[in-house]
């Protein structure tokens, strides 16, 4: 009888041990996560997949956790992730997320505050602009759902030699900027200005010209505020600066505009730095090596941040957070920046002299990042649709298909007609470093 009881007891203990071993999401410690496999969705056409694959090998040695990297281009990434989240599938445990998708996705992400507390992640190590704007919003009652990974904003690159030749100061206001373009027009064979002008790039320029006038785009409860003189000035300002651009600018996306500046055929470019900067100092791709500089543009660009999130439907949340924490460590963040061109979100990395040396124009780029903002209409369910339609409306204005006032009316009408119910908790803010 006694033997039987002991046998049963052993059997039950074994059974319990097996059960607890199967639960990879247990928070009890490192050894429980060994052998777990997590899937990480990454944007292709960046260097991140390559970097992650390298880092995953080291991570596996340290923790025993396997990381499977899945890649997709930006457009498809959004569609794949949203399908996975809406259908509660949990195919992707960890995802690189573009902040512009927050409105659609934030509620489907795992709240990270308990993990941050448990693994003692210090959010004060991040640049304020990221700490305040990225992976956190009033949508989730300011509970963090993402760890800032990388980000950038438009910087203004200009030709130092031409500015010296025409005795121009670096423009601090849009007015100075427009005047500089008029002066630079004298330089033969050089367009004074170039930037990407496809639909999707235009709203960013509108915001950059609108925001310095001091009024928000919306009221706190998302009533449009831009259909006025300030909005008209922003559109007219865009028309002015594009008068100095190559005529084909409406079909130029970000990489298409870069060669014009690299070939020395433009004096100023508003561009996203991580693709342009490395090319500028390379003699094979640039005719203007050492003749340029990068600064913050006269108006704040919007931040384009990416963060790392965990799906609410992931079965490996603990292992997923360990991986996120690993990627966010200072040395890995630095490697992602220096070796793979993904700007760090950590203060200490930007302060590192080796980083400043490795990233051409680093100081100007950092100033632009610190100066930029993130409008929370992007987190509104109607935000993405309004953004895309605003791009179309501005494109029509620039090609003189519609007048400035008609464009503003259209932008306002689009917001009001698309407007879905304001999500609970979300207020309109233009979030920045302060």
Span 308-367, contacts to other proteins by CB under 8 A: 312
- Report in angstroms how near the CB of residue 421 gets to other proteins at its nearest: 8
Using alpha carbons, select from 30, 122, 152, 69 the residue that is nearest to residue 328.
122
Looking at residue 138, what DSSP letter applies?
A: G
Record the tokens describing residue 302, joined without a space.
């919007």
Task: In whole angstroms, give the CA distance from residue 281 to residue 144.
Answer: 38
Q: Which of 256, 409, 412, 430 is close enough to bind other proteins by CB under 8 A?
A: 256
Task: Give the residue with the Cβ less far from other proteins, 59 or 191.
Answer: 191
- Report in angstroms how near the CB of residue 82 gets to other proteins at its nearest: 7
Task: Give the residue with the Cβ less far from other proteins, 195 or 199.
Answer: 199
Task: Verify binding: residue 412, other proteins, rule CB under 8 A.
Answer: no
Which position has the token pair 């600064």? 295
The DSSP-derived string for 207-251 is HHHHGGGS--SB-TT--B--SSHHHHHHHHHHHHHHTTS-GGGGG
Task: Verify binding: residue 416, other proteins, rule CB under 8 A.
Answer: no
Task: Verify binding: residue 108, other proteins, rule CB under 8 A.
Answer: yes
Region near other proteins per CB under 8 A, out of 27-35, 111-119, 258-266, 327-335: 258-266
Q: Which of 100, 151, 305, 391 is close enough to bind other proteins by CB under 8 A?
A: 391
Task: Give the residue with the Cβ less far from other proteins, 200 or 233.
Answer: 200
Angle of CA points 161, 281, 363, to nearest 5°: 80
Residue 219 exposure: Cα atoms within 13 Å on the Cβ side: 5
Looking at residue 424, what DSSP letter applies?
A: T
Calculate the CA 331 to chain-centre distance: 21
Task: Verify binding: residue 249, other proteins, rule CB under 8 A.
Answer: yes
Q: Which of 25, 104, 176, 187 is close enough to bind other proteins by CB under 8 A?
A: 104
Task: Verify binding: residue 431, other proteins, rule CB under 8 A.
Answer: no
Task: Give the residue with the Cβ less far from other proteins, 78 or 322.
Answer: 78
Three-class DSSP category at 360: coil
Q: Are 349 and 355 in contact (CB under 8 A)?
A: yes
Q: Which residues bind other proteins (CB under 8 A)?
A: 78-79, 82, 86, 103-104, 107-108, 197-200, 246-252, 256, 259-260, 265, 312, 381, 384-385, 388-389, 391-393, 395-396, 399, 401, 418, 420, 423
């Amino acid at each position: 009888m006694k033997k039987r009881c002991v046998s049963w007891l052993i059997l039950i203990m074994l059974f319990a041990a097996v059960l607890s071993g199967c639960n990879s999401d247990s928070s009890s410690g490192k050894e429980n996560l060994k052998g777990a496999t997590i899937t990480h969705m990454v944007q292709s056409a960046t260097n991140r997949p390559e970097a992650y694959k390298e880092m995953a090998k080291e991570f596996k040695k340290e923790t025993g956790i396997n990381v499977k990297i899945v890649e997709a281009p930006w457009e498809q990434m959004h569609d794949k992730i949203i399908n996975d989240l809406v259908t509660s599938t949990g195919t992707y445990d960890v995802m690189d997320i573009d902040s512009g998708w927050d409105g659609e996705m934030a509620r489907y992400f795992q709240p990270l505050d308990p993990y941050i507390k448990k693994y003692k992640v210090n959010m004060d190590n991040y640049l304020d602009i990221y700490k305040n704007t990225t992976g956190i919003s009033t949508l989730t009652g300011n509970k963090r759902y993402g760890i800032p990974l990388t980000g950038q904003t438009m910087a203004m690159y200009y030709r130092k030699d031409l500015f010296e030749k025409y005795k121009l100061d670096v423009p601090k206001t849009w007015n100075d900027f427009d005047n500089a373009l008029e002066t630079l027009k004298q330089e033969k064979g050089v367009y004074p200005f170039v930037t990407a002008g496809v639909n999707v790039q235009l709203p960013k320029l509108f915001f950059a010209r609108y925001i310095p006038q001091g009024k928000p785009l919306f009221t706190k409860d998302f009533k449009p505020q831009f259909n006025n003189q300030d909005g008209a000035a922003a559109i007219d300002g865009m028309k002015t600066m594009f008068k100095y651009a190559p005529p084909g600018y409406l079909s130029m996306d970000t990489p298409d505009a870069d060669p014009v500046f690299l070939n020395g055929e433009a004096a100023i470019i508003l561009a996203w730095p991580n693709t342009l900067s490395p090319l500028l100092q390379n003699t094979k791709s640039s005719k203007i090596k050492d003749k340029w500089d990068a600064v913050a543009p006269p108006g704040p660009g919007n931040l384009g941040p990416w963060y790392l999130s965990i799906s609410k439907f992931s079965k490996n949340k603990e292992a997923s957070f360990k991986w996120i924490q690993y990627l966010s460590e200072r040395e890995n963040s630095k490697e992602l920046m220096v070796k793979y061109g993904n700007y760090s979100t950590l203060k200490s990395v930007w302060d590192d002299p080796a980083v400043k040396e490795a990233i051409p124009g680093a100081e100007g780029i950092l100033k632009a990042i610190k100066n930029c903002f993130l409008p929370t209409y992007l987190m509104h369910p109607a935000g993405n649709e309004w953004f895309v339609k605003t791009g179309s409306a501005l494109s029509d204005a620039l090609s003189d298909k519609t007048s400035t006032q008609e464009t503003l009316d259209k932008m306002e009408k689009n917001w009001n007609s698309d407007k879905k119910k304001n999500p609970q908790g979300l207020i309109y803010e233009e979030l920045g470093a302060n």
